[in-house]
Amino acid sequence: QPEFGPTDMPEVDESEKPTYYRAEVHLSEGGQNYDIMGWSKISVINDVIDQFHKHQHFIHLLK
């Protein structure tokens, strides 16, 4: 508990706190600002392949 907070607050059991997970896509160019949490395995694989193709196209444009 932080020192600046009220001391009369009841202790909260960690197991009762809601938990939030986020699986965010992050490439070397930075975060892509979309969440893949809940996607199926095949959807994640397809997204990785799609991102790879976009990267290949980008590299091709630089040549």
**What is the pLDDT, as a whole number, of residue 61?**
93
Higher per-residue pLDDT: 60 or 3: 60
Kindly state the tokens that stand for 52.
Answer: 């790879």
For residues 47 and 51, what is the distance between their CA atoms, to the nearest angstrom? 6
H or E element that contains 57: helix 41-62
Higher per-residue pLDDT: 2 or 30: 30
Q: Write the single-letter amino acid at 31.
A: G
Q: Which of 4-8, 16-20, 43-47 has the highest mean pLDDT?
A: 43-47
Residue ranges per structural domain of the chain: 20-62
Taking 70 as the threshold, does the pLDDT of residue 12 lie above it?
A: no
Taking 90 as the threshold, does the pLDDT of residue 36 lie above it?
A: no
**What is the pLDDT, as a whole number, of residue 23?**
76
Concatenating the DSSP letter of every residue in 10-24 gives PP--GGGS------E
